[in-house]
Amino acid sequence: MLEDRIEAKWIDAFAEVFGLCRVRENEAVAILSESQSRPLNLQLAELALARLGARPFHVRVPSPRQTAPVPVRSTGASRALQGQGPAIEALAASGLVVDLTVEGMLHAKELPAILARGARLLMISDEHPDALERLVPDPALEAKVKTAVGLAKAAALMRVTSPAGSDLGVAMAGARVAGVWGWCDRPGSVAHWPGGLVVAFPKAGSVDGSLVMNQGDINLTFKRYLETPVTLRIARDYVTAVEGQGTDAELMRRYFAAWDDPEVYATSHVGWGLNPRARYEALAMYDRRETNGTELRAFAGNFLYSTGANEFAGRYTEGHFDLPLRGCTITLDGKPVVEGGALVAELR
């Protein structure tokens, strides 16, 4: 168990990332949190901003009452603000919003209003600072992520195969492609720390095939390495069958069904990890309360398949699975970007 106390090295890590975000002296910086946010990270953010000469202020709201039929984890769609106009106005008036909500504001409905006047938003994932310290972004990562984004935007077809039996096709025409390298330095931009991945939100009806999650692959919603294989059959974006024997398949079937919402079965986004500092084995090293597992989305060479909301396809739901797979080959119009779970040379 890690000790929740302020460490100088963690203030250093936060200050380094805020420096990459080009925090200026006397800049008004909003620290957004809720009553269930991690207190240690709030303190570290405030102290680091003060060290840089910024003028931090807090926007803190009560964590809302749960409305979902099952526990909700790692959606990136925080409900904390609940449309509160004065809070949104304060955030929008700042230069930088440091997002320390539990779920994060990446897909929250209030995000466009916050960014409309030029505020930039950095979502700091709900991790213990021990993990954030390891994953302070390398400035060299920006160019690699931008290269990957360019390749994905130019492609007509993504294909994902694996020795376990995966064969998934994603039509890329009209997809919304985004890359995250771990900091935001432009007005109206959004990033998350840890970063280091590229994702595409396909337009409706673009994803077909089979995805075989092998033993050792990861269900991040459950913070669990799979012990038995699970096969997802996917037709026109929607998971039509969850096949497999044992606990892993049973957990997924029950979680899907509990929502009583067809949109939870739909494809949210697809992509791959690019961060050489992110570790596949990290989930085994932290108590569950200490980690959100964001680095497992970003470890280099993983294929990330996610289900649930995709606003670019007109689908909205709180149900969400993030499923990083190892050992896959990912091609864009026949050209590999990941081969057998390893990045091609131009992306390393």
pLDDT digits (tens, 9 = 90+) for 294-348: 999 999 999 999 999 898 998 988 899 999 999 999 999 999 999 999 999 999 9
User: Do 165 and 193 share a domain, yes or no?
Assistant: yes
Does a structural domain hold residue 71? yes
Nearest to 232 by CA among 258, 207, 199: 207
Supply the pLDDT for residue 73.
Answer: 83
User: Do 297 and 323 share a domain, yes or no?
Assistant: yes
pLDDT digits (tens, 9 = 90+) for 229-277: 999 999 999 999 999 999 999 999 999 999 999 999 999 999 999 999 9
Q: Which domain holds residue 231?
A: 141-347
Q: Considering only CA atoms, give the Rg of the chain.
A: 19
Query: pLDDT grade, residue 171 (50/70/90)?
Result: very high
User: Do 161 and 241 share a domain, yes or no?
Assistant: yes
Are 51 and 15 in contact, with CB atoms under 8 Å apart? yes
| 154: exposed, middle or buried (Cβ count in 10 Å: 0-12, 13-18, 19+) | exposed
Mean pLDDT of the 145-166 span:
98
User: Do 292 and 168 share a domain, yes or no?
Assistant: yes
- Given a cut of 70, whether residue 1 has pLDDT beyond it is no
Supply the pLDDT for residue 47.
Answer: 98
For the four alpha carbons of 184, 179, 309 and 323, in that order, the dihedral sign comes to negative
Does a structural domain hold residue 280? yes
The tokens for 231 are 């096969």
Higher pLDDT, 80 or 1: 80
Does a structural domain hold residue 95? yes
The DSSP secondary-structure symbol of 79 reads -
For the four alpha carbons of 303, 192, 202 and 308, in that order, the dihedral sign comes to positive
Does a structural domain hold residue 3? no
Characterize the bridge pairing of strands 28-34 and 55-61. parallel
User: Do 164 and 312 share a domain, yes or no?
Assistant: yes
Does a structural domain hold residue 62? yes
Query: pLDDT grade, residue 17 (50/70/90)?
Result: very high
pLDDT digits (tens, 9 = 90+) for 30-40: 999 999 999 99
Does a structural domain hold residue 1? no
- Treating both helix axes as pointing N-terminal to C-terminal, what angle do 39-51 and 8-20 enclose, rounded to 10 degrees? 60
For the four alpha carbons of 148, 264, 125 and 293, in that order, the dihedral sign comes to negative
Domain boundary among 134, 169, 194: 134
User: Do 15 and 163 share a domain, yes or no?
Assistant: no
Supply the pLDDT for residue 77.
Answer: 86
User: Do 196 and 68 share a domain, yes or no?
Assistant: no
CA distance 252 to 341: 24
Lowest average pLDDT, out of 48-52, 65-69, 128-132, 179-183, goes to 65-69
pLDDT digits (tens, 9 = 90+) for 66-81: 999 998 887 888 999 9
User: Do 106 and 208 share a domain, yes or no?
Assistant: no
Domain boundary among 87, 112, 134: 134
The tokens for 260 are 């009583």
Number of structural domains (the chain) is: 2
Mean pLDDT of the 131-149 span:
97
Domain boundary among 134, 153, 168: 134
User: Do 184 and 273 share a domain, yes or no?
Assistant: yes
CATH (domain of 75):
3.40.50.2300
User: Do 109 and 149 share a domain, yes or no?
Assistant: no
User: Do 101 and 165 share a domain, yes or no?
Assistant: no
Supply the pLDDT for residue 273.
Answer: 98
Supply the pLDDT for residue 301.
Answer: 98
CA distance 275 to 323: 17
Does a structural domain hold residue 2? no
Supply the pLDDT for residue 89.
Answer: 97
CA distance 82 to 158: 37
Nearest to 98 by CA among 213, 160, 20, 164: 20
User: Do 65 and 168 share a domain, yes or no?
Assistant: no
